[in-house]
């Protein structure tokens, strides 16, 4: 444990050190979906970042911070912000995966116009996407993933020391590759329900073709909604496993950002 000297002579240096260490924590909290939404005010997030920076300064062996207002300090702050944003952005991508899957399902079911306010972002989104987002959030906290993420955030100061300039291009590339994984996973989550809805539409089209007097819209839309709801109920246990896999993969990706560069 580091002993902070809070005397008046070194107070300015200590405050600069804590502020410098809180940049990574603050950037990660601003980008993470847990506290980065509109539900948590920005001053609270800034205060939480400063508190985490104080504990990091007390717990983790750190090198002296660069001189204040120097070019090295500006570059180091940008480097710390990049690391924090990357750690939070990975979780942001993970929480966007069920929303993409929900948009695919809603568009096929005819529920694209059913929208509500997303409590995480404060923006208007589909009702099914809000439901999937709440399920993923509950699973995230239920399995203790938030504690593991905070542990990775604190451990990042040991693996990537503050001001060490170790955030290489391959780390940004791994985040982009995780985006590809997210699109593929969203398609896999929506695939069972979309296949059921496609089958219903094919059957509805055959019925309308054989009996032109029937109203296709009056028959197809209710059948698609009912079939979609039934498919969601049946596929929900499988989706729960897929959501858990998304969370675990996001944590693994966050840990990969802190690993050594591949040779």
Mean pLDDT of 165-174: 70
Residue 27, pLDDT > 70, answer yes
Looking at residue 246, its pLDDT comes to: 92
Please state, rounded to an integer, the average pLDDT across all residues of the chain: 80
Return the half-sphere exposure (C-beta side, CA atoms, 13 A cut-off) of residue 88: 21
* Total residue length of the chain: 263
Looking at residue 154, its pLDDT comes to: 87
Residue 114 lies in a domain: no
Identify the domain containing residue 134 by its residue range.
8-108+122-257
Mean pLDDT of 179-191: 90
The encoded tokens of residue 256 equal: 């990969």
Looking at residue 130, its pLDDT comes to: 83
Question: How many H-runs (helices) and E-runs (strands) does the chain carry?
Answer: 7, 2
The encoded tokens of residue 213 equal: 């007097």
Residue 212 lies in a domain: yes
The pLDDT tens digits of the residues spanning 113-166 come to: 666 666 555 566 677 888 888 889 889 989 988 888 988 888 888 887 776 666
Looking at residue 120, its pLDDT comes to: 58
Residue 69 lies in a domain: yes
Residue 1 lies in a domain: no
Looking at residue 40, its pLDDT comes to: 74
Residue 213, pLDDT > 60, answer yes
Looking at residue 186, its pLDDT comes to: 92
As for how many domains the chain has, the answer is 1
């Amino acid at each position: 444990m580091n002993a902070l000297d809070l005397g008046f002579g070194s107070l300015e240096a200590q405050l600069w050190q804590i502020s410098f260490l809180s940049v990574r924590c603050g950037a990660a909290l601003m980008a993470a979906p847990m506290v980065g939404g509109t539900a948590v005010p920005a001053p609270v997030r800034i205060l939480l970042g400063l508190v985490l920076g104080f504990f990091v300064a007390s717990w983790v062996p750190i090198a002296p911070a660069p001189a204040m207002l120097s070019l090295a300090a500006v570059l180091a702050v940008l480097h710390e912000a990049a690391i924090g944003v990357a750690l939070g952005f990975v979780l942001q991508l993970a929480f966007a995966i069920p929303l993409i899957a929900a948009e695919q399902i809603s568009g096929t079911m005819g529920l694209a116009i059913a929208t509500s306010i997303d409590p995480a972002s404060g923006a208007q989104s589909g009702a099914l996407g809000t439901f999937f987002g709440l399920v993923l959030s509950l699973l995230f906290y239920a399995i203790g993933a938030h504690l593991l993420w905070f542990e990775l955030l604190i451990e990042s100061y040991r693996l990537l020391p503050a001001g060490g300039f170790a955030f290489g291009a391959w780390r940004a590339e791994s985040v982009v590759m995780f985006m590809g994984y997210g699109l593929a996973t969203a398609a896999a989550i929506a695939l069972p329900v979309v296949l059921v809805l496609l089958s219903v539409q094919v059957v509805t089209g055959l019925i309308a073709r054989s009996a032109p007097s029937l109203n296709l819209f009056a028959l197809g839309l209710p059948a698609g909604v009912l079939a979609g709801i039934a498919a969601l109920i049946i596929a929900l246990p499988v989706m729960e496993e897929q959501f858990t896999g998304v969370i675990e993969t996001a944590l693994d990706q966050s840990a990969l950002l802190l690993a050594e560069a591949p040779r």
